[in-house]
Amino acid sequence: MSTQKKHVNAPLVVIEGNVGAGKSTFLRLIGEQLNAQLVFEPNAQWQDVDGENLLEKFYEDSKRWAYSFQTYVFITRVQTQQEAAKINTQPLQILERSVYSDRFCFAKNSYEMGNLSSLEWKMYCKWFAWLVDTHVQKPIAFIYLRTSPEVCFKRLHKRNRFEEVNVTLDYLQRLDKKHEDWLIHGKEDLIKNIPVLVLDNNKDFESNELIRDEHLCEIVTFFEKVLHFPAKTVLKQN
């Protein structure tokens, strides 16, 4: 029987970035060196809803499936984070994406592109506001992997998920603007006071250990100076 102390309400930090930015890879490689529970995006659940691929349906016919997709994404994100928190033994929890990027980037973009109707957008915003206020743990910080749409597009094709075959550069440019408005220009009041660490993510960190070390150093400094977490708490001791 484990005697490790559970940290059910451990502080939550979120990795954000555009489609194809490399969030999963970044979290896996950087997370190996941190005292943190890593919570990855539950995209497997979107690819298999009792045998049906909701992610594929969304990209094939966004106007038909946008509301269904955004609703299910919200539910699975919250469920995944909360289930992970129940068994967490680390002083931190680091999450790949949040319901906030769903709201301020993806759902908002779907509405502006005409894939969510005015009524669907109003319903989404109403239940989102209530559920976030009553059921969602607010993060203490965001780490934004700032990546150009062109680099994201190249990485998207490199990973070659068949569901993403219809993703265009224009779509990524729209999402990039939403991320910039939200995380750089602070246009959304709901989470305006949460600190954001911005990392230049255009270089290939996956195959370059030096770049990963630079990012890790920036993260540790951010945790120390902004979040007041000492390095010995954040970094694994070799």
Phi, psi of 143 (to 5 degrees): -115, 115
User: 120 catalytic, yes or no?
Assistant: no
Nearest Cα to 144, choosing from 212, 222, 197?
197
Strand partners, 12: 93
Nearest Cα to 20, choosing from 198, 176, 193?
176
Q: Which of 96, 112, 180, 206 is catalytic?
A: 96
What distance in Å separates the CA atoms of residue 183 and residue 112, rounded to the nearest whole number? 19
Phi, psi of 142 (to 5 degrees): -120, 145
What distance in Å separates the CA atoms of residue 118 and residue 123, rounded to the nearest whole number? 9
Tell me if 179 sits within 8 A of 173, measured CB to CB. no
Active site residues: 96
